[in-house]
Amino acid sequence: MFKILRSNKGEGYIDVAILILCVMLIIALAVKVFPVYILKQQIDTFATELVREAEIAGRVGTETTNRETLLRDKMGSSFPLIIAVTLALIIIFTGISEYFRLMIIAQGVRDAVQDAVISTVNDNYDDV
């Protein structure tokens, strides 16, 4: 029983599972936090554009009201960008996790072949 617990076989799978869990938590945090920064950037741009319009017109009036209406219509257009960035991160993470999974499988196959070769060599050497 203790020999099984001390064995390192399958350790890579556990590491990858924990890595996947951590990365998914980071992506979930990013999905929750990025919209706040994007909204702040939109509000800063909104204010800068309105101030610039007021500077150009020399007063606050119909020009700034028209510009405000135009900017309000454009608000929220970054939502598809947020979705695209999130999906891109998920695709990149999936590719990385698949790479690690294949490396673990390749390492297991390499170790098994190496053990088989050593066993065969030892058996053949004993017959000499």
> Per residue in 52-99, pLDDT tens?
888 887 778 887 788 778 777 776 666 677 778 778 888 888 888 888
Concatenated DSSP letters of 47-105: HHHHHHHHHHHTSSSHHHHHHHHHHHHHTTTTHHHHHHHHHHHHHHHHHHHHHHHHHHH
In the prediction, which pLDDT does 23 show? 81
- Taken as a whole, the chain contains a residue count of 128
> Residue 46 in contact with residue 75, Cβ under 8 Å?
yes
> Residue 50 in contact with residue 71, Cβ under 8 Å?
yes
- For residue 114, name the pLDDT band (cuts at 50, 70, 90): very high
In the prediction, which pLDDT does 1 show? 47
In the prediction, which pLDDT does 128 show? 63
Highest mean pLDDT among 11-15, 41-45, 82-86, 105-109: 105-109
13-18 long-range contacts (CB < 8 A, ≥24 apart) are 13/104, 16/97, 16/100, 16/101, 16/104
Residue 17, pLDDT > 80, answer no
Percent of the chain residues topping a pLDDT of 90? 2
